[in-house]
Structure 1
Amino acid sequence: DDEVSFITIYFQIAINKSTVSHKILVICPYGIASSKYIVNRLRSVLPKYDDIQSCSLSNLKQINMNNVDLIISTTSEYFNSQIPVVKVSPFLDNIDYANIFDVYAKNVFIKTPRLNETIKSNKIKLSTLKKYIKPKYLFFKSALNSKKECMDFMIDILQQNKAVKSGFRESVYKREELGDTVLENSVALPHGDPATVINTSIIIMTLTNPIKWGNNYVDMIVMLAVPNNMESEFNQIVLEIYDLVSNKNIINEIKKIANRADFINSLKE
């Protein structure tokens, strides 16, 4: 117990130096009292800037998960989410605290500034790209197994958001038939005919395992959808993507990211 307490205190001191706000969701099966208890305990040990909220399993579908950095749960229920999850007891013992701080430090606290500093140190400007980065179009550590699965998934997302027309899917596949859209550092850049695009959209996806993409293997995909009347924007977006992709350190940091909030925070000035 003494050793666990020491580890907990060590992480608390380090993490409490942070002034970046993160969103933490506490999920309990039913009880309001138990969730409030856990939230209050967490607020006493995690950074004061963090937004800690609770919800029941039945209300989970009503929660916007786009900006959630960490889930702390008292249930063993599986969450189909790319967000890191810590399973805890309803009373939060020392082992629970140690597990929370460990996951928090590795997945929330450490990664965001590392990517941010790498981008800044390389003097890379992403002013145009930032305009079109949206949480709903970011997918990290996806467990998809083929080029077709990845492209269909991303195209489906664009269609669901009414960002592209019905012919977009066919145009993406036709472009791939002309030649691989693989860039440097195992990154693919599929895109479709501008005539089939309604709104400029960028989908970014990283994979848990590399997949075959033509004659290459990729574990990061950036799908572009830019309409005809945005040609200058398209050119600038592609240039900025190339700046990112050509830097191995930046790409390696992006591929480590596990949730959307980390990436969004890394793009802030």
Structure 2
Amino acid sequence: MNNEYVDSKQRKYLIIKRLLNQEHLSYQQLSEDYYVSRSSIANDISYIKDVFSKEDLALTFDNSGTYFKGSEAQIQKILKRIVLNLLNNELSTEHFIDAALMKKVAQGFSRALNEKKIEIPESYTQNIIVSIVLIIQRAKENHHIHLEGTNQYGKFFLEFDKYPLVYGLLNELQEQNIYHFSQEEIQHLTYLIVGSGLRFFMKDDAIPLSFRGKVRFLIQKVSEGLQTDLTQDGRLEEDLVVHLYQLILRLEAQSSVVNPLIEEIKQTYPSLYGVVWFALADFCKPYQIALSDDEVGFVSIHFQAALERIKKMHKILFVCPNGIGTSSFVSAKIRRILPDVNSIETVSTSTLTKMDLSDVDFIISTVPVPITEKPVVRISPMVTAKDMKRIMNHYIDLIIAREQNAPPKLEIASETKDLIAQNILFQNFSTKQEALNFLIDQQAFSDEELKEKFKLSVWERERLQSTYLDNGFAIPHGSPEFVEKTTISILILDKPINWGNQKVDIIVLLIIKEEEVRKVEPVMELVMQGIEDKNGFISKMMEVKT
């Protein structure tokens, strides 16, 4: 192969294309093809491995070089992730997608949605369109998706009276002679499309009560982990029932979505992400499915929205000496611009001095008030536009201040410190099995049979889904039914070991009793902070170790 010089980013994409086309590529060959050093190629392959690992896929190596051994569905998952990331960042997709075909499919599919009055969120529409384009493009190159091994949940999750409706959407593309889909391709896209527009395709009462019960249990688990009761939030339940139902349909189609906010979610809400990740591992176990970080991030957003709903301000005091009429008028105006405020209480100046202000966020007053420990916003009795702006600005400043009052990084709560202090270990192992067995063997079980059952439950969870999180951290855990005493062990390795398709050098083994799930949240926050600052995490562990 005799290529002109290409920049680093283009080179990575070209290598990915060649790997997905089943080429076996040696470092030397790639170095010669692209006129760069072997170390540059090594960096490229490292980047490519990371791209594949986001879909829990890995490259293979033999004497002939590096290659990818996977199904057509897996190949299209990788391609879709790359294309969606490029589109989200407004970058060119020319290496992977036929722009003219993309335009035709987008126009035809959007027209079909409009004609049938179907509303699907824009991000999911883009996901569907890219999937359709890849199916067409790859089929023209004689690469076809096959569904063997799938559909084991389809009978439970999907009523195939939706099949004709999806066929009707795709028929628009067939009538334009863009492409004629096979029955397998339509079935595959049925899962994907219904899983992206469930509210339209399926009435909520068509979702089995057993599934709704599982969602309620998930909310309960996350509530316990966060030590915040979200079980009474009806909107959270409804949103999660639909989201998780369509999530399983997407995974049934061997498809996933790209979450452009995933890094921000992890950084901004580390403990929430960790607790949701932990709870979803149990939720997904019966369905034998593995979730990507992107999917966990989307579910985390639903929980964060619920937390925001209960994080409304406690109370605003309105100090007004001018009678009931004026106070009602001003209160009504305040409620209009601050609808999330729980209560607005009207008090006199004299009453204010005797009140307990601990649950008050700030005070609005039409008259001077005695100096208090709470901020005061002065307004006129008529509540002018300037007054409303002043109130809103103060409200926004208060919210921002709350967000910025996050605890310092890598601060460990005393209860968590007591939990981990005697279980921080520095060792060296060459395999995942050695490391996990060592950690479990350090724990006190009343008998060998119970320890063996717990060990088997740890390995079963690893079989279903890797417990790798990010940046070399893995969080293995077993079934609480075999746990007598809550323990958290942290193993820090000298050298990384293989953990599925990833490399791990920090292993946090969670041994948590069912009734002590609340202890997970501070640990997960610590881990998520450690992912951001691994050296700081290791230093803190050395400090805490007894």
Band of TM-score, shorter chain: 0.3 to 0.5
Q: Which TM-score applies when normalising by structure 2?
A: 0.23
Higher Cα radius of gyration: 2
Structure whose residues are more often helix by fraction: 2
Structure whose residues are more often strand by fraction: 1
